[in-house]
Chains A and B, each alone.
Chain A
């Protein structure tokens, strides 16, 4: 069992973490959620019926735990009015090319963060994780066509958002 868990973590740990991080925009919370995902996966591994791929199954768990974490955070923030636990995107973190790219990247992170949660999930699963719409349908328990429509509608919105923030460049 431990061997299977190790393999799961090695293969999918980073992807799950990045997904959680972009969904939650909070490194500590993403770390917690990522661990919970693999603890649950380990617990349910024997019941995994292989109707979907392991990756799809893992991301379905991750999506649920992210939703739980968001709810918990919203409840906590309701008690601490005015606080903002989400991270301010750090453009320098992605500075592997030019300053323009860094500005674009920073705007992209912000604009993705402003998408409605279900649309953000669809965008992340589709582009960050490279899922097909059919796989996304299994993860989100929504119809593939619905998810495709969400993604198609979100792209121009993202483009406009980035262009507004960067002064027109994309």
Chain B
């Protein structure tokens, strides 16, 4: 039994098949990357795992229990948290308050929720910005805040949707360290990345989607040299 099992997952929007018979496993403790060109179905896959969408066919099992079809807030309670591709912080709340919303899932009262929230802010190097409104943060800080908020629900599995997108090189490098640190603390991570280089660095395994289908999976080296992947990213003319 794998940590997370995705079996024949299919999600259709009218005539468009956004996820077509996708099957793969996520192992406990790993960092797995999901890559693919625009429109490959990466975010739809995340939305199916986190319950935003109900799959048309197939199933998702987390630690052996079927979670597909559950509501997002129920799935969160199973220990699966996420960030969003388009930032979804609570703009009119301070950084601390944003994270407190997360820690309140497990904390009993406000003092405890705040105390735990401060720890997550510290982990993401946001401690000195705790009283700043989330809407006034830079893009990089808002992305970090989303990660802190997701971690605040104390998940076992964390889904990161394009955390490196829109960041400059030094910010990407900082994020890679952050993601590694989270993983070292025992949290399994699924990473969606549009930019291949970012994910090649940290993911132990990579699943490649194109046109809603899984075209391959394997180590970063295997995937990078796979002719199907090169074709998906660069077009047929670039095949060696």
Asked if chains A and B come from one complex, the reply is no
User: Which A positions have Cβ atoms within 8 angstroms of B?
Assistant: none
User: Which B positions have Cβ atoms within 8 angstroms of A?
Assistant: none
